[in-house]
Structure 1
Amino acid sequence: MVTGAGRAPQRSGVRHVLVTGASRGIGRAVAVRFAEAGHRIAVHYLARTADARRTLRLLPGEGHTLIQGDLSSPEECRTVVEESERALGGLEVVVNNAAIATSPALRHPVVGTDFATWTDTWAQFTNINLLGAAHVSWAAAQSMVASGVPGRIVNIGSRGAFRGELEHPAYAVTKAALHALGQSLAIALAPHGIAVTSIAPGFTATERVTERFGSEIPAGITAGSPFGRIATPDEIAAAVLYLASPEAEWASGAILDFNGASHLR
């Protein structure tokens, strides 16, 4: 077991990185950022095969791989981690990005939603956003501890965890729980030299947002930030790259607000 006292941060070499939900959006941007930094990437996806293959083609360097798996299944979570480690030749970094996001089709306000829809929607959000990340993190932790590597786990949370979501309460709750998971793991894994952090973005210009609103983001959304815009996936990816770096060990347990001053706490 690696002890933390007096240990200088390890300088980075080529690291092996699993990014869940990397077929597009923030996950794709994160995968590209890590590959540009010289690391090897396991691009996880569920069903968007063509998009995942495009992500793979965008990655500079060699040794990257595609990993398909349904993270609502605990066993598949473990398999995704094991296959990633085997294909890459190791595993030092996991970015828990896969999630069910808010959408008109998944609206479930407490008033106006029938009970069957309510329970089904909560199960969907919980199984992916929280339990999927928890099971992936468990499997990754076993690998990192056994290998003795100073690993990193970064969770992609949400601003919604702090301000609430009127029409998507399950999303807000599962993201808040994801942040809490990260803090619990940070305490548990620090003695092994493994740092765990979370980032809480606000609205981000992903394909999902474009599909929902078109090319023009509503003024009511962009006005939420004093910068008058929303984030780009690459901005979030740059922050994730830092949080996963050897130099960021002392950030373990942190939740990074990343919302352009649209929600302050």
Structure 2
Amino acid sequence: MTTTQRLGGRTALVTGGSRGIGRAISRRLAREGALVAVHYGHNQDAAERTVKEIGADGGRAFAVHAELGVPGDAATLWAAFDEGLSGQDAEPGVDILVNNAGITLPRPLAHVTEEDYDRVFAVNTKAPFFIVQGALDRLRDGGRIVNISTGVTRFAFPPIVAYAMTKGALDVLTTNLAQELGPRGITVNAVAPGFTETEINPTLADPQIRKRYSDHSVFGRLGQPADIADVVSFLVSDDGRWVTGQWIDATGGVHLGV
């Protein structure tokens, strides 16, 4: 928990901001004073619940709906954002964009279909690309972009190879955007979680899998959504002004000894 208001007067958009890591990021940024647009694709109840939680904490938020991975998704998202923002006491535009929304594909290469492949790339890679494109004229100078990547772009984990590939592309986008947007004072970074406990990861219900994943970290535990949200909070604040184009390992020291 934080008592500061270091993001006061700023507007943030968190894609996939209603559950898991996205929910933790939305709540953390709101506690720091940001007005947070909580994007959701399908679960309206979760988005409304997150907005209410933020309000109960004394923060400000509104829900934004847009299905990602379909034609025109980025345009739909930004239209919904603009409409939602117009109902708030805030200037048009955005200061912080967190590309968090994504889907997993827990299948090894031999079992990935073309439909699977196209779907995971549409949501995890194509959508953030065009969301950023739509943000360029809305993002204020001195703004922040954070892309949520994954530790498996740095070490091999064949069971989710297609998913890892989507995030590898996002890492490349991160460095190129940092170069392009630097003259505007905009920082762009990627944050890479490891094995993180969220309600959308059903495999963690198995005690043996939980232990196996926990043992990958030098701390001997699973990551928590708040662990990731805290890193994002630093990057989007003034304290993170001199960090850009970086891939931030937030895995809890996974595979340090390998």
* TM-score (norm: length of structure 2): 0.88
Answer yes or no: is the 8 Å Cα contact 2:64–2:84 preserved in 1. Answer: no
SS across alignment from 2:242? helix
Cα separation, 1, equivalents of 2:254 and 2:237:
27
Q: How does 1:9-24 map to 2 (within 5 A)?
A: 12-24=7-19
Q: Which residue of 2 aligns with 1:212?
A: 203
Contact 1:74–1:132 (Cα < 8 Å) also in 2: no
Q: Does 1:93 align with 2:96?
A: yes
| Counterpart-to-counterpart distance in 2, 1:80 and 1:140 | 10
Return the alpha-carbon distance in structure 1 between the equivalents of residues 180 and 210 of structure 2. Answer: 42
Counterpart of 2:122 in structure 1 is: 127
Name which of 237, 254, 262 aligns with 2:246: 254
Work out whether residues 159 and 263 of structure 1, in 8 Å CA contact, stay in contact via their aligned partners in 2: no
- Structure 1 residue 102: Cα displacement: 4.0
In structure 1, what residue type is equivalent to 2:245?
A: G
Q: CA deviation at 1:74?
A: 4.9
Question: Displacement of 1:87 after TM fit?
Answer: 2.7
Q: What is the deviation of 1:72?
A: 1.2
How many residue pairs get aligned? The number is 243
**Is residue 63–residue 84 contact of structure 2 (8 Å, CA) maintained in 1?**
no
The residue number in structure 1 matching 2:133 is 138
Distance 2:36 2:138 in 1: 16
Is the contact made by 1:195 and 1:249 (CA closer than 8 Å) also made in structure 2? Answer: yes
Distance 1:193 1:79 in 2: 27
Residue pairs, 1:51-130, within 5 angstroms: 51-59=46-54, 60-61=57-58, 63-88=60-85, 89=90, 90-103=93-106, 107=107, 109-111=108-110, 113=111, 117-130=112-125
- Asked if 2 retains the 8 angstrom alpha-carbon contact of 1:74 and 1:135, the reply is no
CA contact (8 A) 1:38 1:61 kept: no
Q: Please report how far the alpha carbon of residue 124 of structure 1 lies from its aligned counterpart in structure 2 after TM superposition.
A: 1.0
In structure 2, the CA distance between the partners of 1:12 and 1:29, relative to structure 1 (3 Å rule), is: closer
Partner of 1:28: 23
Secondary structure of 1:44's counterpart equals: strand
Q: One-letter code of the match for 1:214?
A: A
Aligned-partner Cα distance in 2 for 1:227–1:131: 34
8 Å contact 1:130–1:175 — kept in the other structure? yes
Q: Which runs of no fewer than 5 residues in structure 2 stay unpaired?
A: 1-5
Residue 229 (structure 1) aligned to one of 202, 215, 221: 221
What does the per-residue CA deviation read over 1:130-166, in whole Å, with 9 as the maximum and x for residues that have no partner?
Answer: 111111111112212xxx4311000000001111331
Q: Which residue does the alignment assign to 2:3? A: none
- Name the SS of the counterpart of 1:31 in structure 2: helix
AA of the residue aligned to 1:241: S
Q: CA deviation at 1:215?
A: 7.2
For 1:61, the aligned partner's letter is G
Corresponding residue for 2:151?
A: 159
Aligned-residue offset at 1:52: 1.1
Shift of 1:35: 0.8
Amino acid in structure 2 at the alignment position of 1:237:
A
**SS class of match (2:102):** coil
Provide the rounded CA distance (Å) in 1 between the counterparts of 2:137 and 2:123: 20
Please, which moves more after superposition, 27-36 or 159-168? 159-168
CA distances 1:160-218 after superposition (whole Å, capped 9, x unpaired):
11113312211011111111101110000111111100001101011123x32227453
RMSD across aligned positions (CA): 1.8
Whole-angstrom CA distance in 2 between matches of 1:34 and 1:218: 29
Secondary structure of the 1:34 match is helix
